Amino acid sequence: MIKRNNSSNSDPVFHGNYEDKIAEIEKIIAQIESGNLELESVFDQFATAVEYLRQCETFLQQRQQQVDLLIETLSDD
C-alpha cells in the first residue's frame, strides 16, 4: 500500500503549499517591477523570492523522486 501525503506542511523544508509560494513570488515580482519600493526593500523582497524559489525547487525534486520510484515499482511488476 502506498502512503499518500497530501499536505506539504509536513515537509520540514517546505512551509505552506507550492501554489501559495508561487503566488507570493508573483506578488514580489510585481512589487519590484512597480518601482515603488525603497532599494533596501527591493533587496529584501528579492532575497525572500529566492528563498521561496529554492523551497519550490526542493519540493518539486522530492516529488519527482517519488514519481520515479512509483514508475520503477510499476515497471518491476
pLDDT tens column, 2-22? 344 444 444 555 556 999 999
Q: What is the pLDDT of residues 15-72, one digit of tens each?
A: 569 999 999 999 999 999 999 999 999 999 999 999 999 999 999 999 999 999 999 9
Our count of domains for the chain comes to: 1
Asked, for residue 59, whether it belongs to a domain, the answer is yes
Whether residue 5 is contained in a domain is answered as no
The pLDDT value given to residue 16: 64
Domain that holds residue 57: 14-76
pLDDT given at position 14:
59
Residue 1 lies in a domain: no
Residue 34 lies in a domain: yes
Q: How many CA atoms lie within 13 A of 60 on its CB side?
A: 10
* Contact predicate 45/36, CB 8 Å: no
- Residue 11: partners with Cβ closer than 8 Å, 6 or more residues away: 59, 62
CA angle in degrees (0–180, nearest 5) for 12-10-54: 45
> Residue 26 is part of a domain; what is its CATH number?
1.10.287
